[in-house]
Structure 1
Amino acid sequence: MSFRSLFSMFTVLVISVALLLGLAVTPTMAGSSSVTKGVEQLPQIDAEAGKVAEKSAPMGLEEVEARNEGGLNEIQGSADANKMHKADTSKPGPAIAKKIDKALEKVTK
């Protein structure tokens, strides 16, 4: 092995380690993101779930529909319903079969 190839391998190793260390530190900086705003609703959802779990008999359809009140389910209500993925508002992507065909074409070329 020549010095140049050994030096380039060492450089790639150092850059890889630096990249991995940088990626390991990044999640700790995400604590101030807007994702944490949903935590405010968790105690209320947890309390409602506890009430349902304490019942000895399962809820009937009428009780579930009454508790739901047009929300996502009887526990969550409509919490963050506007942030959820909805098929009618999203763009359809290519079918998985087409993705597989394209990947196989790239591999076989």
Structure 2
Amino acid sequence: MKSLLRPLRILLVVCACAFLFFSQAIPAYAGSNPAKGEETLNAVQKESEKILKQERPAPAGLEANIRSEKGLNEVQGAANAEKMYNPANSGDKETVEKDLGKALNKVAD
């Protein structure tokens, strides 16, 4: 009996390892477009460098508050906002919630 269970255990371990590997690799690949490559955020980089080169900080964060009101955050402002993924520009891509819901419905059926 033990000789029959040994290959089954090995197969189970191999399947578990494959599942762990793919569950870590797929989310990183899902949001990227391999043909497009990495997005360049030149405007963000320029704003960051400008802030780092300042000799004196803004008084009581006033300048930072003004910049943060104009966009996404203090450093970035509204620079490259069109290149960021958000629900408005994601198109017909499904959310993780919907994918999980479909998978759970399949398992339940």
RCO higher in 1 or 2 (8 Å CA, sep ≥ 6)? 2
What interval of TM-score do these two structures reach, taking the shorter chain for normalisation?
A: 0.3 to 0.5
Normalising by structure 2, report the TM-score: 0.47
Name which one, 1 or 2, has greater alpha-carbon Rg: 1
Normalising by structure 1, report the TM-score: 0.47
Greater fraction helix: 1
